[in-house]
């Protein structure tokens, strides 16, 4: 191997490795939806009502994505972010008509309604709460204007785009990523809102780094200009999360170990509770099917159902959450100067071994698949694996040649446009 190549080393447990291998295969697949005639600009597109369990894969010649497809992919993500910030900072959806320097724009373009639409959140109770409130309002302004910038670019007829191409409208969005198609409102705590905002910004960064090589000219320049702000949003939010010890919202599966007792709902001696949330589904030997976490302690968790088998004596049971996606993320934590000078790392004894910690979502000094000190990148498939939140079973099934995952999580009826499957 040449000296300037980097090799993927995977020192983690067997379960994690299985997930990575399965995910890795799935993520290389081209979108075959194009072969079904759903390619390119799709105003109000959609496939008709679909089973959320997936649909048969039609093996067609894979179509190349256009730059418009990639921009519309980024536009879908921007709809999610702009709408989320509008709700939590303004208490309303993004405006139907938005005036910038005398020109009226229509950011929603007549798109779909919202599920789990959160009410305006009060952030002033947090440490530096006034600054956080103001910062989130500026982020809202940025995201709304980036949305318009993307719409304008996609819809403009110039030599980079097909004449007459239009930006896709906003699809149905579940603003809390729960996969619900029921239109309605909800509330979210300040900490949870911060945690999700942070996660979406870091995922957004990786979406832009991941599609960059497919863009050129004005499309690439705008993507770079947006990236230059998304990263700043991410790190400012990460700092706010650190200063408030906000519980981590993960992008991927988490693995931990514990001790089960048959007939008891308590998992004892949990290796790490980092990232575990009430409601998270879990799986493992001796855990009842469909069990979820009902209480998160400091060294134990309580499940919604009793264990069906005990952990063997002097052993531990490996338990995985079924929040899907990946582990290309870094938990916002100040690991101290001595550790930070070596980049993000997993601090043994205090953190989930599959997640690194640090101020920024970058690769640390342990050999990884990307250069140290670089931001991560995700393919469109990897981004959707995070945003669609398929179950572990569905994600693994998506690796086969017979099913695709095309909706769920933040996009319960799929993204609009040519790129919308894992």
Partner 1 sequence: MASNEIEVLDPAASVEKLRKIAAGRALNRRHFMAALGMTGAAAGASFLSGCTVTNGTPLTSTAPGQTDVLNFALNLEFLEATFYAYVTQGADLPSSATLNSGAITGAPSKITFAGANATQITDLLNEIYFDELSHVQDLISLLGSAAVARPAINLAALGAVSASNALSIARTFEDVGVTAYAGAVTALTDSNLTYAMQILGVESFHSGALRYSIILQNAATPGTDPYVPASDGQDVAPFDPGTAVLAAGGPSASGGFFNTFGASTAGSTAGVAKTRTTSGVLSIVYGGGATGTSKGGFFPNGVNGLINTV
Distances (CA, A) of 234 to 182, 194, 197, 287, 361: 30, 10, 8, 36, 9
* Residue 289: both structure tokens together: 């099917």
Residues with Cβ < 8 Å from 44, sequence gap 6 or more? Answer: 110, 111, 169, 416
Residue 317 bridge partners (DSSP): 258
3-state SS assignment for residue 300? coil
Q: How far is the CB of 191 from partner 1 (least distance, A)?
A: 18
Among 37, 56, 164, 336, binds partner 1 (CB under 8 A): 336
- Evaluate whether 262 touches 307 at the Cβ level (below 8 Å): yes
Taking residue 91's Cβ as centre, other Cβ atoms within 10 Å add up to 12
Q: Does 221 bind partner 1 (CB under 8 A)?
A: yes
Among 44, 110, 184, 371, binds partner 1 (CB under 8 A): 371
Q: Does 5 bind partner 1 (CB under 8 A)?
A: yes
Q: Does 12 bind partner 1 (CB under 8 A)?
A: no
Residues 80-119 interacting with partner 1 (rule: CB under 8 A): 89-90, 100-101
Helix, strand, coil content of the chain in percent (nearest 5): 35, 15, 55
Among 186, 304, 334, 403, binds partner 1 (CB under 8 A): 334
Decide the pairing of beta strands 103-105 and 98-100: antiparallel
Contact segment (CB under 8 A) with partner 1 among 187-195, 258-266, 379-387, 404-412 equals 379-387
Q: Does 407 bind partner 1 (CB under 8 A)?
A: no
Residues 66-85 interacting with partner 1 (rule: CB under 8 A): none
CA–CA distance, 395 with 24 (Å, rounded to integer): 11
Residues 147-206 interacting with partner 1 (rule: CB under 8 A): 148-149, 158, 205
Nearer to partner 1, 4 or 182 (CB): 4
What string marks each residue from 16 to 35 as x (binds partner 1 by CB under 8 A) or -?
--------x--xx-------
* Residue 131: both structure tokens together: 């600054």
Q: Does 9 bind partner 1 (CB under 8 A)?
A: no
Among 126, 234, 386, 387, binds partner 1 (CB under 8 A): 234
φ, ψ at 267 (rounded to 5°): -100, 115
Nearer to partner 1, 236 or 276 (CB): 236
Among 53, 59, 119, 213, binds partner 1 (CB under 8 A): 213
φ, ψ at 312 (rounded to 5°): -60, 155
Q: How far is the CB of 310 from partner 1 (least distance, A)?
A: 38
Residue 266 bridge partners (DSSP): 302
Q: Does 122 bind partner 1 (CB under 8 A)?
A: no
Q: Does 320 bind partner 1 (CB under 8 A)?
A: no
* Residue 392: both structure tokens together: 């572990």
* Residue 32: both structure tokens together: 């075959």
Residue 117 bridge partners (DSSP): 185
φ, ψ at 362 (rounded to 5°): -130, 165
Q: How far is the CB of 118 from partner 1 (least distance, A)?
A: 17
Size of the residue set binding partner 1 (CB under 8 A): 89
Among 145, 155, 186, 264, binds partner 1 (CB under 8 A): 145
- Tell me which DSSP letter residue 178 carries: S
Q: Does 222 bind partner 1 (CB under 8 A)?
A: yes
Among 13, 22, 63, 220, binds partner 1 (CB under 8 A): 220
Decide the pairing of beta strands 317-321 and 282-283: antiparallel
Nearer to partner 1, 37 or 102 (CB): 102
Residues 287-316 interacting with partner 1 (rule: CB under 8 A): none
Q: How far is the CB of 367 from partner 1 (least distance, A)?
A: 12
Contact segment (CB under 8 A) with partner 1 among 57-65, 276-284, 301-309, 360-368 equals 360-368
Nearer to partner 1, 174 or 331 (CB): 331
Residues 236-255 interacting with partner 1 (rule: CB under 8 A): 236, 238-240, 242-243
Element (H or E) spanning 86, and its range?
none
Q: Kindly provide the residue ranges of all beta strands, DSSP E only, lying in 324-393, ordered along the sequence.
A: 330-332, 356-358
Among 38, 94, 144, 323, binds partner 1 (CB under 8 A): 144
CA–CA distance, 363 with 329 (Å, rounded to integer): 9
CA–CA distance, 291 with 320 (Å, rounded to integer): 11
Q: How far is the CB of 100 from partner 1 (least distance, A)?
A: 6
Contact segment (CB under 8 A) with partner 1 among 166-174, 247-255, 265-273, 338-346 equals 338-346
């Amino acid at each position: 191997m040449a000296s300037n190549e980097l090799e993927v080393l995977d020192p983690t447990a067997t379960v994690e490795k299985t997930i990575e291998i399965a995910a890795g295969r799935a993520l290389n697949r081209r979108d075959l939806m194009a072969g079904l005639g759903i390619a390119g600009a799709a105003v109000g597109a959609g496939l008709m009502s679909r089973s959320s369990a997936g649909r048969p894969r039609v093996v067609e010649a894979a179509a190349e994505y256009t730059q418009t497809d990639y921009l519309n992919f980024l536009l879908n993500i921007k709809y999610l972010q702009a709408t989320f910030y509008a709700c939590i900072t303004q208490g309303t959806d993004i405006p139907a008509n938005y005036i910038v320097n005398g020109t009226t724009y229509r950011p929603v373009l007549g798109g779909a309604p919202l599920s789990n639409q959160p009410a305006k959140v009060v952030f002033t109770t947090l440490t530096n709460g006034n600054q956080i409130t103001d910062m989130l309002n500026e982020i809202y302004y940025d995201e709304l204007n980036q949305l318009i910038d993307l719409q304008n670019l996609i819809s403009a007829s110039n030599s980079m785009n097909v004449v007459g191409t239009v930006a896709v409208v906003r699809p149905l969005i579940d603003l809390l990523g729960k996969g619900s198609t029921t239109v309605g409102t909800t509330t979210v705590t300040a900490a949870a809102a911060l945690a999700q905002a942070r996660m979406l910004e870091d995922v957004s960064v990786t979406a832009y780094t991941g599609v960059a090589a497919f863009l050129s000219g004005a499309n690439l320049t705008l993507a770079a200009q947006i990236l230059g702000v998304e990263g700043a949003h991410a790190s400012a939010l990460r700092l706010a999360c650190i200063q408030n010890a906000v519980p981590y919202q993960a992008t991927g599966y988490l693995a931990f170990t514990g001790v089960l007792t048959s007939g008891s709902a308590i998992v004892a001696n949990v290796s790490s509770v980092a990232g575990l949330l009430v409601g998270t589904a879990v799986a493992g030997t001796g855990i009842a099917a469909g069990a979820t976490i009902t209480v998160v302690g400091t060294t134990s968790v309580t499940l919604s159902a009793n264990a069906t088998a005990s952990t063997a004596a002097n052993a531990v049971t490996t338990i995985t959450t079924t929040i899907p996606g990946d582990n290309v993320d870094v938990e916002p934590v100040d690991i101290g100067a001595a550790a930070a000078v070596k980049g993000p790392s997993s601090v043994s004894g205090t953190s989930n071994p599959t997640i690194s910690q640090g101020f920024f979502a970058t690769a640390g000094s342990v050999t990884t698949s990307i250069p140290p000190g670089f931001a991560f990148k995700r393919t469109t498939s990897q981004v959707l694996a995070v945003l669609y939140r398929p179950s572990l079973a569905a994600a693994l099934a998506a690796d086969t040649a017979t099913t695709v995952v095309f909706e769920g999580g933040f996009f319960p009826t799929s993204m609009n446009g040519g790129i919308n499957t894992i």
